[in-house]
Structures are given as C-alpha cells and as structure tokens.
C-alpha cells in the first residue's frame, strides 16, 4: 500500500519569511495575520523534516528501471521519496511501488498506446511569454496594491490562447524552486462546474517554470469533476503534468477537496522536474506523492535557476475558443483558492528559499478574476467564466 503518515502536532507562524516554530500574529502590509490558517497537524506532517530519505523500490520493478528510478529518486528532496512516479520522455512510466503504477494506469487508461507507454502528442514545446512590465509589482508599487480587499485583476494577461480565465503570477529570473501552502475549494464550498458547458470547463491550481527561451511546464493540481461512473478519482484534486516529454496530460494521486495541502515544485537536476503534494487522500489519511519527469531536448531547465522564472496559476481551463459565460467558478469570496507562505529558490538547494519580492501579476480577463492580495507570497483568488464585480 502507499506509504501514509499519522498526524503530528506542530504549529507554524505566518511571516513574510517563513517561521515554522510558533503561532504568531503579524501585521503584513496593513493586514493582521493570526498565523497560518493551514491546520497545525497537517502543516507538521506536510513539512516532514524528520524524513530519513531512504530509497525504496518494489522488487517487481525491472533491474534497468530500478537503476533509472534510483538515480531520479536520489536527486529528490529526502522527504519526497515515499511515493514516486517517474514519466520518461518516451512516455514510459516507472514507480517505486507497484500499486502506484496500477492506480495511474487505471486513471489514465485512454492515454496509453499499445506498447504500454503514454501517447506522445507532438514534438513542439509548451511556450509561455512573460507578461508586459506594466504587470510588475515590486517595492515601488506594492503598498498601493496590497491590503485593499477584493478587486479584479490588476492587469490583463492578454487574449492570445483563449483557453479559459486565469490568474497568473511570474517570478523574476533566477529561480527553479517554489514551495507554498494551498487551500483547495470543494463543490460544497467555492467550486462550481457547469454540467451543461460544451467547453470542458476544468479547474486547475498549478505551478511550473519557464526557461530562458520560453519553453515551459505546467505542473500542479486538476479537479476531477464527477463523471457519474463512481470512479475512485471522481471529485478529487489530482496531480498533473503538461509540457514534459509532450505526453498526453496524465493525472496522478487523488486528494480530497476542501482542505489545505503543501505543494513543492523544483528542478532537481538540469532538464528534470519534480512536484510533491502532501495532504489528505480520499481515504482520509495523509499522503505524500511525487511526480517527476524529464524535459525535451529543446529545453534549457537549470537546477540552479539560471534564466528561469517560476509561475503560479489559478485557472478554469476551457477548449479554445473559450466561452466566458458558462458560469463555472473556482473559488468564492468566502471560500477562495488560498496561496499562502510562498517561497522561491534554487531547484538543487532547498536551503535557498526566500520570499518573492518582485513578480508579474495579471489576469485573463480582468473581470473574470477576483484577487485579495496581501503580498507576493500570499493572496486569495477567484476565477470563473462569469463577470465579477468587487
């Protein structure tokens, strides 16, 4: 079975720079924070600083796959080695536990070819351009934007792709690691998917990075809307990866909606990526899952962050051209998507983390996004295919 954890008790404090030792009250840009709103037992286990970092690989894994996976796992943070799924450039899938592969294949059965590999879409890289400098928030304009309550997005990201509304944040160059706490809305509170939409409305909360040439990866959580078939992954937030190896976008691991999770993205070695998410799974126990992949030959992802930008995105994705009138919504002003205590650093150095102080913030379209912005590392977000008036 997947390796899971019993809850411990520890309280973390919310500062501009992270402190995980005591609950604290602090005034941040005119707002009073009473400490992390992520539950203390979850926060403690999600940090998992006591992890030994042992590399376990099931005996059922072939010798060649074991050798490859051992190298991948050795590059990961020690606390991210419990449940690991690796997707190679050719679409082959390896995991350190047999049940992980079994679950993954069932959840993505239509995305595998006759050889048992994930289908390859094309050889074109996923591209992303940095927003215009008018979207830049730094020390010169932070205080005029922060702490003003709910408002529409500050600037428009543009309408090139027309794949649904989103809130996007891009860091300054030089970073290839991002850690954050995220609250995931549920259908009971804060999440609505119009069942009659013909645009495939799908909620996403994700991160990723872009290299010096604009080659990019999206990696994070996707909401699996109930299908009526009572699949184990229905009504869950599942990990996804887009842009590595150009495989059809698979999903992995299934987390309960309506909870806090800790998310970590990093580039552990050049042209490789890793995402770890820890939170309560569908059985009600805490699970730590890691998905890793390799980038295409055309990418220039650097573990030390050279030439790279980190992203964080909240979106209601649609089939292009989008329809911004379907009424689907991710987050509400009472139960928003909460990004808290974000920190950025170098992919190959977990001790390099520090708060973001310069970033590019935008939305598409402005009126399809609501933001309650505290600072670069803490904001609440609502996006939807409807018009929002603050």
Least confident among 70-79, 131-140, 331-340: 131-140
Say whether pLDDT at 9 is over 60. Answer: no
For 145-199, write each residue's pLDDT tens digit: 887 799 999 999 976 778 999 999 999 999 999 999 999 999 999 999 999 999 9
The model's pTM:
0.88
Check whether 28 has a pLDDT greater than 50: no
Q: Phi/psi of residue 80, each to 5°?
A: -105, 20
How far apart CA 65 and CA 92 sit, in angstroms, is: 10
Q: What was the pLDDT predicted at 30?
A: 39
Tokens of 253: 């691991």
pLDDT at 384: 98
Report the pLDDT averaged over residues 90-110.
93
**Contact yes or no for 371/167 (Cβ under 8 A):** yes
Asked whether the bond before 168 is cis by omega within 30 degrees of 0, the reply is no
- Which residues 6+ apart lie within 8 Å of 205 measured at CB? 182, 184, 220, 221, 237, 313, 314, 315, 330, 337
pLDDT bin (cut points 50, 70, 90) of residue 298 is confident
Nearest-angstrom CA–CA distance, 72 and 53: 13
Is the four-CA dihedral 189, 195, 197, 202 of positive or negative sign?
Answer: positive
- pLDDT bin (cut points 50, 70, 90) of residue 249 is confident
Res. 295: pLDDT tops 70: yes
Distances (CA, A) of 223 to 241, 243, 327: 13, 19, 16
Structure confidence by residue, pLDDT tens digits, 254-285: 999 999 999 999 999 999 999 999 999 999 98
pLDDT at 101: 94
């Amino acid at each position: 079975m997947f390796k899971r954890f019993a809850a411990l008790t520890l309280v973390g404090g919310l500062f501009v720079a992270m402190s995980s030792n005591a609950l604290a009250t602090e005034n941040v840009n005119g707002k009073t924070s009473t400490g992390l709103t992520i539950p203390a037992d979850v926060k403690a286990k999600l940090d998992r600083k006591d992890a030994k970092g042992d590399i376990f690989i099931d005996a059922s894994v072939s010798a060649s796959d074991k050798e490859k996976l051992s190298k991948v796992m050795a590059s990961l943070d020690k606390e991210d080695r419990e449940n690991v799924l690796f997707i190679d450039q050719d679409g082959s899938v390896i995991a350190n536990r047999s049940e992980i592969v079994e679950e993954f294949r069932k959840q993505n059965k239509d995305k595998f070819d006759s050889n048992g590999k994930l289908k390859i879409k094309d050889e074109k890289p996923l591209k992303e351009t940095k927003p215009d400098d008018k979207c830049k928030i730094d020390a010169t304009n932070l205080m005029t934007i922060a702490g003003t309550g709910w408002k529409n997005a500050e600037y428009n990201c543009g309408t090139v792709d027309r794949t649904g509304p989103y809130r996007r944040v891009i860091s300054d160059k030089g970073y290839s690691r991002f850690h954050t706490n995220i609250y995931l809305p549920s259908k009971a509170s804060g999440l609505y998917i119009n069942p009659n939409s013909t645009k495939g409305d799908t909620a996403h909360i994700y991160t990723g990075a872009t290299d010096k040439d604009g080659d990019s990866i999206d990696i994070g959580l996707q909401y699996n809307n109930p299908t009526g078939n009572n699949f184990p992954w229905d009504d869950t937030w599942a990990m996804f990866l887009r842009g590595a190896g150009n495989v059809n976008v698979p999903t992995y691991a299934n987390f309960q909606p309506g909870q806090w999770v800790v998310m970590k993205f990093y580039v552990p070695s050049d042209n490789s990526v890793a995402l770890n998410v820890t939170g309560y799974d569908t059985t009600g126990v805490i699970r730590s899952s890691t998905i890793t992949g390799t980038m295409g030959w055309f990418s220039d992802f650097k573990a030390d962050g050279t030439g790279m930008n980190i992203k964080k995105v909240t979106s209601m994705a649609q089939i292009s051209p989008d329809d911004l009138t379907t009424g689907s919504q991710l987050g509400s002003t009472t139960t928003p998507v909460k990004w808290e205590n974000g920190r950025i650093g170098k992919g190959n150095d977990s001790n390099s983390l520090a708060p973001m102080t310069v970033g590019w913030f935008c939305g598409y379209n402005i009126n399809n996004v609501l933001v309650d912005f505290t600072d670069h590392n803490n904001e609440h977000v609502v996006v939807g295919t409807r018009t929002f008036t603050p």
